Amino acid sequence: MMKRVLLAGLLGGLVIFVWGSLSHMVLGLGEIGVKGMPKEDAVLAALHTSVPEPGFYFFPSMGLSPNSPREQRMAVMAEIEKKAATGPSGIVVFHPNNGVTFSAPRLMTELALNVAQALLAAILLAWATGLGTYVSRVLFVATAGLLASLSTNVQYWNWYGFPSDYTAAYIANELVAFVVCGLVVAAIVKLPAMAARRAAAVAAD
């Protein structure tokens, strides 16, 4: 079974990777809700002047250290709420010297991530001994993918204000990825024949 799980993880990861390439480069799902920065040169010049270090920045900023007293943090939070209600708010992931590029190392990192995702799905499926049919195993992997896609995308939409169309597109993208992964993984990770017959008998009862 371990060999099957490893094979399912490898092939399932490759399927996720291929789907990701198609969804971004052919279907354009990765571009939904994404806009170019107006007056980019002026904005970048201001960022280079004001933000010297790479990092994840949130504004309006609290401007407090993690060890600040709770009373002070609550007072600052109230002030931030007032600023956000009347002015701009957002997040910036900034790299002043080396931007995010479409490079071979990043592609390899993505492929490794996809294989790890498929391998975890295959391990979970191997433990789910009550799933005796191919369709039930595919749905099991797809449900795991839906759980993963909702956990971060909806949180970013809720707390950081990510666009609704961007969020919906990425949930759909990841769900489809795990469906096609499930088609592969479920075909490889199967219950032993005796366990499959027992599961079928229990379902019939």
Q: How far is CA 26 from CA 15, 104, 204, in A?
A: 16, 19, 45
Specify the pLDDT at position 193.
47
Task: Write out the E strands in 137-192.
Answer: none
Domain of residue 170: give its range: 2-36+102-204
User: Is 96 a member of any domain?
Assistant: no
178 vs 51, residue with greater confidence:
178
Question: What is the mean pLDDT of the segment spanning 52-70?
Answer: 76
Within a domain: 13? yes
Tell me which residue of 2, 9, 5 sits closest to 189, measured CA to CA.
5
pLDDT tens-digit map of 14-33: 999 999 999 999 999 889 99
Residue-wise DSSP of 25-57: HTS-GGGTT--PPTTHHHHHHHHHHH--S-EEE
The two structure tokens encoding residue 39: 């007056």
Q: What pLDDT digit, counting tens, does each position of 179-205 carry?
A: 999 999 999 998 764 455 555 555 665
Locate 102 and state its tokens. Answer: 């479409």
- In percent, the amount of the chain with pLDDT more than 90 equals 51
pLDDT on residue 87: 77
Residue 203 — φ and ψ, nearest 5°? -65, -35
Report the domain count for the chain: 1
Q: Which two tokens stand for residue 62?
A: 């609290």
Q: Give SS3 for 92.
A: strand
Question: CA 74, 92, 37: angle at the middle one, nearest 5?
Answer: 135
The band of 102, judged by pLDDT with boundaries at 50, 70 and 90, is confident
- The reply to whether 87 falls in a domain is no
Work out the average pLDDT over 74-89. 76
Alpha-carbon distance values, 128 to 3, 136, 184, 193, 205 (Å): 17, 10, 16, 15, 19
Question: Would you call 139 exposed, middle or buried from its count of C-beta atoms within 10 A (0-12, 13-18, 19+)?
Answer: middle
Q: What is the mean pLDDT of the chain?
A: 86
The pLDDT tens digits of the residues spanning 113-149 come to 999 999 999 999 999 988 889 999 999 999 999 999 9
Q: How far are the Cα atoms of 93, 102, 160 from residue 44, in angstroms, in the given order?
A: 12, 20, 21
Which two tokens mark 121?
Answer: 């799905």
The answer to whether position 27 is within a domain reads: yes
